């Protein structure tokens, strides 16, 4: 009788203890990532881009352990996803978007700018926050410099519709439109030369 009571007690109390310790571990992980992000922001304002990039990466590595999309979909294979409450899930999403956005800003200012990586970071932000004007702008700028004028036009047009008074966005929209029309004209002449 006592052994049955102990088994029942263990079953009912252990998950609660695990859940409480898991919540504390999640909060600690979010706090640590937020600290890395804040330190990165300080380095960014002091124009220490390398250190800022490193700190944003550390923050993203902290957050990686909480991201359910990174875990194995097969039960019993690999680590299992951590359960987050709605507040923690929202904080995770916001921190990830902020870190990727800040990382893109640093990489855009590096010498030489790493446009492919800026583009990738911007897409990460847009997957989390599709309306983010800074990410739309950076995706457009990086696409422009990668000579993907169609994508650049797409992202910059969206950014311009959300921030119509932003001079940098306007300037890149004009640059992209000019490059796109030149590209299309050259393409048209190339095809005319082929067929006659």
Q: Dihedrals φ, ψ of 67, to 5°?
A: -80, 110
- Looking at residue 10, its pLDDT comes to 42
Residues 52, 85, single domain; the answer is yes
pLDDT more than 90, % of the chain: 68
- Looking at residue 81, its pLDDT comes to 61
Identify the top-confidence range among 13-22, 63-72, 75-84, 105-114: 105-114
Q: What is the mean pLDDT of residues 75-95?
A: 79
Name which residue leads in pLDDT, 33 or 12.
33
Q: What is the mean pLDDT of residues 97-102?
A: 98
Question: pTM of the predicted model, to two decimals?
Answer: 0.80
- CA 188 → CA 4, 143, 177, 182, 195, distances in Å? 82, 22, 16, 10, 11
Residues making up the chain, counted from first to last: 196
> Band of the pLDDT at 4, cuts 50, 70, 90?
very low
For residue 59, give its domain range. Answer: 19-70+81-111
Number of structural domains, the chain? 2
Q: Is the pLDDT of residue 58 over 70?
A: yes
Residues 35, 104, single domain; the answer is yes
Residues 91, 175, single domain; the answer is no
Other Cβ atoms within 10 Å of 126 Cβ, number: 20
Q: What is the mean pLDDT of residues 147-171?
A: 97
Q: What is the mean pLDDT of residues 154-172?
A: 97
Q: Is the pLDDT of residue 22 over 50?
A: yes
What whole-number distance in Å separates Cα of residue 61 and Cα of residue 53? 12
Q: Establish if 6 belongs to a structural domain.
A: no
Residues 23, 90, single domain; the answer is yes
């Amino acid at each position: 009788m006592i052994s049955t009571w102990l088994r029942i007690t263990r079953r009912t109390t252990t998950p609660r203890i695990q859940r409480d310790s898991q919540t504390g571990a999640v909060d600690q992980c979010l706090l640590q990532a937020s600290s890395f992000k804040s330190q990165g922001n300080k380095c960014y304002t002091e124009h220490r881009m390398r250190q800022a990039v490193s700190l944003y990466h550390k923050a993203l590595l902290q957050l990686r352990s909480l991201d359910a999309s990174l875990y194995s979909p097969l039960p019993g294979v690999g680590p299992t996803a951590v359960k987050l409450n709605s507040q923690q899930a929202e904080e995770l999403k916001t921190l990830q978007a902020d870190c990727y956005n800040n990382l893109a800003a640093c990489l855009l200012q590096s010498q030489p700018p790493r446009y492919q990586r800026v583009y990738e970071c911007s897409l990460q932000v847009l997957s989390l926050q599709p309306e983010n004007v800074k990410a739309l702008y950076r995706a457009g700028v990086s696409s422009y410099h990668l000579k993907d004028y169609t994508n650049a036009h797409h992202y910059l047009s969206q950014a311009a519709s959300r921030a119509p008074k932003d001079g940098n966005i306007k300037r890149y929209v004009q640059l992209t439109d000019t490059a796109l029309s030149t590209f299309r004209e050259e393409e048209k002449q190339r095809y005319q030369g082929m067929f006659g």
